[in-house]
Chains A and B, each alone.
Chain A
Amino acid sequence: MGVEGIGARVVRKEDKRFITGKGRYVDDIKLTGMTHAYFIRSPHAHAKVKGIDSSAALKMPGVVAVLTGKQLVDDKVGNLICGWAITSKDGSPMKMGAWPAMAPETVRFVGQAVAVVIAESKNLARDAAEAVVVDYEELPAVADMQAAIKAGAPQLHPEAPGNQVYDWVIGDEGATDAAFSKAANVVKLDVTNNRLAPNAMEPRAAIADYDAAEEHFTLYTTSQNPHVARLVLSAFYNIAPEHKLRVIAPDVGGGFGSKIFIYPEEMVALWASKKVGRPVKWTGDRTEAFLTDAHGRDHVTHAEMAFDTSNKIIGLKVKTYANFGAYMSLFSSSVPTYLYATLLSGQYNIPAIHAEVIGVYTNTTPVDAYRGAGRPEASYLIERLMETAARQLNVDPAELRRTNFITQFPHQTPVIMAYDTGDFNASLDAAMKAIDYAGFAARKAQAKSQGKLRGIGVSCYIEACGIAPSKAVGSLGAGVGLWESAEVRVNPVGTIEILTGSHSHGQGHETTFCQLVADRLGVPISQVSIVHGDTDKVQFGMGTYGSRSAAVGLTAILKAMEKMESKAKKIAAHALEASEADIVIENGEFKVTGTDKAIALPMVALAAYTAHNLPDGMEPGLKESAFYDPTNFTFPAGAYICELEVDPGTGKTSFINFVAADDFGRLINPMIVEGQVHGGLAQGIGQALLEHAIYDANGQPVTASFMDYAMPRADDLPSFNLSHTTTLCPGNPLGIKGCGEAGAIGASAAVINAITDAIGKNNLEMPATPDRVWRTIHAA
């Protein structure tokens, strides 16, 4: 592997600039003549916009323009799209209402923009925004999903009667019913998967710069996938054709899914920049982030699991309501369907599954993919069900899982997914050993003698990552392919630039991607740089989400490297007068195997560019590109076990131990993997104990600041005890599965299973706040 190759714990190259404050984020960029945008947002969850009077604002100092939703629609800027078509069980397409980037007529959630002030400074824009008078006629609003689907509920979109977007099913209902009719035991559970606000550290921002002479736009934006942004902005929003639109996503301070989507603000900035003839900058603040970044999760589910007499699962029925908020965000439709219900088999052999998912509109912020996207909801449901079943069937929860684990691979589940490999017993073994599962009963008794309620909770998760085979997602309704591209440029002096369609916003690609190059060529990573996040530099790419950057993006780099190496070997063989088959690459040199003849990479590169002495017919240069489309999803899996204590007086939870045994396939940089797991676990534990985006009955957000929305902090979390049990992914040559979301997918069930074990009551919703736990303990 070498000191900087695959598997090495290399310190992150990018951290020097981040920790010395030299990162270059969108808000750090200042263009000549730049103006500033401030959005006027609806204070109502549902209202008609009867009029907007900007006459006073237009007279205020520094105001360049006040633009409204009506002007935007008049200029034929397209409505926001949802890129994954879902078909209901009756065969009808999903029912969507229009989402203009600023509302011309009706606002449907608090925070929806109705107009924008463009001024010489942000403060002047904000001053003027206060002078814009918007005449609203309030309409009845509905924020609660269950209320929204009741007859007589306020209706959001005429296109979606009953506020229903779709009623979608998966699996074999007949086979599932038949299994239930034979069941020895049926376990039932109702669970709510709480709505979360993603809260990337850097709020969203955009700068749009229109060049009238060239009729060309440049957009700097906080995006996880700048090429997809350019595609959507040009193909659907009529902003500009692709060759007249450059999208740059520079350093981006976290995304967690929320920066996948194309939002109204960047569309408006582009449109406004052309209108005012100057660059327009918008930087959101934290309140705007709470109000307008797509939220995550928000499911209500009833599930039933059927067991035979030997405690084997014979069937699973699930009915889920998914809250989409007021509009269908870019990938929202796929999250509670193909990213959720396809994982309902968990790690278990379940012969029959049937799931129904009903998508619902409410007067709340739109909901879309958030770290894990559908898979945390599936994993939480299944792992809560397994725990409930173990309690009801009176068997050890770890044992019940083992009884049902899938042990033969490949394994076709009844819900589309074909698991390629795994060893679920191995990860459970490792986790149980790490936490001394066998000694738990004694520890529980000891804690009891000190007045503490101790509990242990297991969660065995599986997820589908590395999304995805383009053909497969295309057949399921996706509007895009999900391959990745790469280009390897060896410069004339032998340094290397890797251009990738993946985008790093905290993942450490600038280090891990270099490690692959170091591994193959034996050059130090300082000789390699990673170029990403600019549509003018990088050929088309799909971006970073769904733990795909290593499994898909890095594999694309590998493919391009192989092509480059093959050409370089030919050049080396020619120079060394050897056979190409005898050339090996070691320590930055091309060697004739078994001899001391060698030529260093810089000399090969120079030869490629001087082209004085290349093999006959060879083109000059040393640059190759590749597109890689995976053949299957990857299936990271693992076992998490949490041990904690509950203080019966206050209901407060304190962690004793948290162990994670993950199978991510091959690890490129174990240190970065650990960081990804730590962050994911923090978010999973945050969901279990602290985080909840709440609306009151009228659709007013109750948690729109950090004073109310409880983000997990370091002292809310235990020290994690991590380990890896590895089965290599057969689907890609590097054997990588992905590690970006696992923590967030597996952690919450472990925590809730442990708390409910501690307090001896099974029904407890997330977040398990001290108040909620205390009330559950003391409930009759």
Chain B
Amino acid sequence: MYQTTYHRASSVDEAASLFAKSSEAKFLAGGQTLLPVMKQRLASPSDVIDLAKIKDMIGVEASGDTLTIKAATPHYDVATSDAAKKAIPALAYLASLIGDPAVRYRGTIGGSIANNDPAADYPAALLALDATVKTNKRSIAASDFFKGLFTTALEDGEIVTAVSFPVPAKAGYSKMPHPASRFALTGVFVAQTKSGEVRVAATGASQNGVMRVSAIEAALKTNWSPAAIDSVSIPASGLLADIHGTAEYRANLVKVMAQRAVAAAG
């Protein structure tokens, strides 16, 4: 790791002003992505501004038809939150599948979506549930937030403060973990909104990061059942391929995970 200056911010405003004052600052949340990259000397921020202790950025709350997860809430808290389990059990379940216990105790939803790893779990939930990303400057619809591999709509110095999820009628998540990293080799989140819209998002599959799967959405719109997906064919072109999964395999997984997510959603 190179030399850096560590700051512990106590409020979102303080974090933003610290960022503005530094030459090449980075926000730090759970550090599960940023710190390994710094240790490998692939990132060398002049300043590291820790968001993880900002009280206003931690917690899970349900009110009316919305579940709000504040950005610095660790995955473990989401996985075990009564509010989350009651409002959107599939989301709590998704959080329980992230990495391993050490990662879940530290890693945060804000860090996860700001990083937008093409194999991260949360982006699939945000997209399928039509969530809204709240920042210190604005609100961004999930479909506008994710912009491809490791890119988001966030501007320099913009802080994600929370994510709010409309509570769906039904939702389910199914994930095939990558054997080494435990990220999603492919994960599919299916949701039926209270207004009857069907949204399906797959992570770990596309070369462009998290994606909607319109063919499966159409099939489920007519018939919300695993069998409805049987006849859908997912093309392998444009899908990721690596030593743990060919593009053809991932195309199969998009389908199979979607079927299992629907079964789980009921």
Chain A residues within CB distance 8 Å of chain B = 123, 126-127, 130, 649-652, 689-690, 692, 694, 702-703, 706-711, 713, 716, 769-771, 774-775
Check if A774 sits within 8 Å of B249, measured CB to CB.
yes
Does the CB pair B249–A708 fall under 8 Å? no
Chain B, 145-176, CB within 8 A of any chain A CB:
176
Minimum CB distance partner of B259 in chain A: A649
Mostly helix, strand, loop or mixed at chain A's interface?
Answer: loop
Chain B residues whose C-beta falls within 8 Å of the C-beta of A692 in the assembled complex: 243
Interface residues of B in 17-48 (CB under 8 A from A): 41
Instruction: Give the docked Cα–Cα distance between A703 and B185 (Å).
Output: 16
Q: A123-B1, A650-B253 are in contact. Are A775 and B248 (CB under 8 A)?
A: yes
State whether B176 touches A710 (Cβ < 8 A).
Answer: no
A621 to B249 alpha-carbon distance, docked (Å): 72
Q: Is B214 an interface residue (CB 8 A)?
A: no
Instruction: Given A703-B243, A775-B248, check contact A650 B180 (CB 8 Å).
Output: no
A707 — nearest CB in chain B belongs to which residue? B181
What residue of chain B has the Cβ atom nearest to residue A123's Cβ?
B1
Question: B243 and A702: CB pair below 8 A?
Answer: yes
Tell whether, in the assembled complex, residue B179 and residue A769 are in contact, meaning their CB atoms are under 8 Å apart.
Answer: yes
CB pair B244–A771 under 8 Å, yes or no, is yes
Contact with A along B50-73 (1 / 0, CB 8 A): 000000000000000000000000
Asked if B256 contacts A650 (CB within 8 A), the reply is yes
Most chain B CB inside 10 Å of its own CB: which residue of A127, A651, A771, A775: A771
* Extra A-B contacts (5), CB below 8 Å, given A770-B176, A771-B244, A775-B249: A649-B260, A710-B179, A769-B179, A769-B245, A775-B248
Q: Are A708 and B180 in contact (CB under 8 A)?
A: yes
The answer to whether B176 touches A709 (Cβ under 8 A) is: no
Contact pick for A709, options B41, B180, B252, CB 8 Å: B180
Task: List, sorted by A's number, 28 A–B pairs whose CB atoms are closer than 8 Å.
Answer: A123-B1, A126-B41, A649-B259, A649-B260, A650-B253, A650-B256, A689-B179, A694-B243, A706-B180, A706-B181, A707-B180, A707-B181, A708-B181, A708-B243, A709-B180, A710-B179, A710-B244, A711-B180, A713-B100, A769-B245, A770-B176, A770-B179, A770-B185, A770-B249, A771-B245, A771-B246, A775-B246, A775-B249
A690 pairs with B252, CB closer than 8 A? no
How far apart are B64's CB and chain A's nearest CB, in angstroms? 38
Distance in Å: Cβ of A284 to nearest Cβ of chain B: 14
Rounded to whole Å, the gap between the CB of A464 and the closest CB of chain B is: 33
Residue of B nearest to A285 (CB): B39
Is B243 a contact of A690 with CB atoms below 8 Å? no
A771/B180 in contact, CB under 8 A: no
| Residues of B near any A CB (own CB < 8 A) | 1-2, 41, 100, 176, 179-181, 185, 243-246, 248-249, 252-253, 256, 259-260
Inter-chain contacts of B246 with A (CB < 8 A) = 771, 775
**Which residues of the partner chain B approach A127 to less than 8 Å between Cβ atoms?**
2
* Bound complex: CA A100 to CA B179 (Å): 37
Closest to B174 in A: A650
**B179:A650 contact, CB within 8 angstroms:** no
Contacts of B2 in A (CB 8 A): 127
Q: Give bound CA distance, A702 to B243, whole Å.
A: 8
Give the chain B neighbours of A130 by CB distance below 8 A: 41
Task: Output the least CB separation between B62 and chain A (Å).
Answer: 31
Chain B residues within an 8 Å CB radius of A707: 180-181
A582 to chain B: closest CB distance in Å?
A: 63
A153 to B246, CA, bound (A): 28
B243 adjacent to A650 (CB under 8 Å): no
Please, which residue of chain B has its CB at the minimum distance from the CB of A778? B252
Q: Which residue of A lies closest to B253 (CB)?
A: A650
Pairwise interchain contact A690-B248, C-beta atoms closer than 8 A: no
Chain A: minimal CB distance from B218 (Å): 21
Cα–Cα distance between A770 and B260 once the two chains are bound (Å): 17
Chain A residues within 8 Å of B1, by CB: 123
Please tell me if the beta carbons of A710 and B253 are within 8 angstroms of each other in the complex: no
Q: Check if A769 sits within 8 Å of B256, measured CB to CB.
A: no
Which residues of the partner chain A approach B245 to less than 8 Å between Cβ atoms? Answer: 769-771
A770 contact set on B, CB distance < 8 A: 176, 179, 185, 245, 249
Which of chain B's residues have a CB closer than 8 A to the CB of A703?
180, 243
Q: With A and B bound together, what is the CA distance between A230 and B181 in angstroms?
A: 39
CB nearest to A712 among chain B residues: B179
Chain B residues positioned under 8 Å from A708 (CB to CB):
180-181, 243
- The interface residues of chain A lying within 8 Å CB-to-CB of B179 are 689-690, 710, 716, 769-770
- Known contacts: A707-B181, A708-B243. The answer to whether A652 contacts B249 by CB under 8 A is no
Cα A650 to Cα B176 with chains together (Å):
8
In the complex the two chains form, what is the Cα distance from A127 to B2 in whole Å?
8
Given A652, A689, A702, A775, which contacts B176 in the complex, CB threshold below 8 Å? A652
Q: How many Å from the CB of A233 to the closest CB on chain B?
A: 32
The residue on A at minimum CB distance from B255 is: A649
CA distance A689 to B243 in the complex (A): 13
List of B residues within 8 angstroms of A774 by Cβ: 249, 252
Residue of A with least CB distance to B246: A771
Task: Report the bound CA distance from A23 to B177 in whole Å.
Answer: 34
Set of chain B residues within 8 Å of A652, measured between Cβ atoms: 176
* Cα separation A709 to B178 with both chains bound (whole Å): 10
Assembled-state Cα–Cα distance A454/B256 (Å): 20
Q: Which residue of B lies closest to A711 (CB)?
A: B180
Q: Which A residues are CB-close (under 8 A) to B252? A: 649-650, 774
Bound form: Cα–Cα A711–B245 in Å: 17
How distant is B1 from chain A, measured CB to nearest CB, in Å?
A: 7
**A148 to chain B: closest CB distance in Å?**
21
Q: How far is the CB of A203 from chain B (nearest CB, A)?
A: 14
**CB nearest to A702 among chain B residues:** B243
Q: Which 6 pairs between the two chains have the least Cβ-Cβ distance? A: A710-B179, A710-B180, A771-B249, A649-B256, A707-B181, A771-B245
In Å, the complex CA distance between A675 and B88 comes to: 42
Chain B residues contacting A126 (CB-CB under 8 Å) are: 41
User: Chain A residues with Cβ under 8 A from B249's Cβ?
Assistant: 651, 770-771, 774-775
Which residues of A sit under 8 angstroms from B260, Cβ to Cβ? Answer: 649
A706 partner residues in chain B, CB cutoff 8 A: 180-181
Complex Cα gap A127–B41 (Å): 10
Using Cβ atoms and an 8 Å threshold, which residues of chain A touch B259? 649
With the chains together, A707 CA to B180 CA distance in Å? 5
Q: Report chain B residues within 8 Å CB of A694.
A: 243
Residue of chain A at shortest CB distance from B260? A649
From B3, which residue of chain A is reached at the shortest CB distance? Answer: A123
CB distance from A773 to the nearest CB of B (A): 10
Chain A CB within 10 Å, residue with most, of B2, B100, B185, B249: B249
Task: Give A694 to B185 CA distance when docked, in angstroms.
Answer: 18
Cβ of B251 to closest chain A Cβ, rounded Å: 11
Contact in complex: A769, B244 (CB < 8 Å): yes
Most central of A692, A703, A710 by chain B CB within 10 Å:
A710
User: A713 to chain B: which residues have CB within 8 Å?
Assistant: 100
Q: Complex: how many Å from CA A770 to CA B185?
A: 11
A676 to chain B minimum Cβ distance, whole angstroms, is 25
How far does the alpha carbon of A690 sit from the alpha carbon of B177 in the complex, in Å?
13
| Cβ contacts under 8 Å, A702 to chain B | 243
CA distance in complex: A200, B192 (Å)? 48
Q: Which residues of A contact B181 (CB under 8 A)?
A: 706-708
Residues of chain A within 8 A of B243, CB atoms compared? 692, 694, 702-703, 708
- The CA-CA distance from A690 to B252 in the complex, in Å, is 20
Q: Report Cα–Cα, A769/B180, bound state, in Å.
A: 11
Q: How far is the CA of A130 from the CA of B185 in the complex (A)?
A: 35
